[in-house]
Amino acid sequence: MGSRQRFRRLLTWHGLIATVFGIGMSPRMPEALATAACLAVFLLTGGANIVFLAAAAVAGAIAADRYARVYGAGSREVVVGEAVGFWASMFGLDRTFALVGFFLFRVVSALRPFPAGYAEKLPGGFGVMAGGVCCGVIANVLLRALDWMFFQGGLDAAYKFFGIGG
């Protein structure tokens, strides 16, 4: 695809949203770059509320669906699911979790564990968004578990419960 064709895809509302302002057009690692861009925004803003997250998910699903119908269902340029998924992974957490959250979300997104793998098989833009958000929720739960285990005394409580250690 030529550069003019790529640029034309960005001139639509669904092209801008589905490709996260053109990041999805990157020839290498568009998903990771979209997540990194969201990491930068997260660090600058400190997070997003549930209304923003829901609105981004709905707008992203509609844009991804429209983009896929116009330009092809399997377009790897559609990275809005990764973007909203990263925001879901960081929901309710502060900036101290940002870097770990970034890497953990990327690992979960690459592995696509249950139910994320099944969710992304849903039709159209809904599947794109559902897969990304499922990965984000899984990463969020894992981040909270790590926080509890290592920083909130969860490991000590488990040791005491099982009578391990002194």
pTM: 0.87
Q: Return mean pLDDT, the chain.
A: 88
* CA dist list (Å): 107 to 44, 60, 75, 78: 23, 22, 21, 19
Question: For residue range 27-73, what is the model confidence (pLDDT) as tens digits?
Answer: 889 999 999 999 999 999 888 788 989 999 999 999 999 988 887 75
pLDDT number for residue 4: 64
pLDDT number for residue 25: 84
When pLDDT is averaged across residues 94-109 and rounded to a whole number, the result is 94
- In the chain, pLDDT over 90 holds for what percent of residues? 51
Q: Give the three-state DSSP class for 153.
A: coil
Q: Residue holding tokens 């040791």?
A: 159
* CA dist list (Å): 162 to 82, 146, 148, 151, 157: 40, 19, 17, 19, 9
Cα distance between residue 161 and residue 24, in whole Å: 48
- DSSP conformation class of 133: H
Tokens for 111, please give them.
């592995």
Instruction: State the alpha helices, DSSP H only, in the chain.
Output: 3-10, 13-18, 30-45, 50-71, 80-89, 98-111, 116-119, 124-151, 154-162
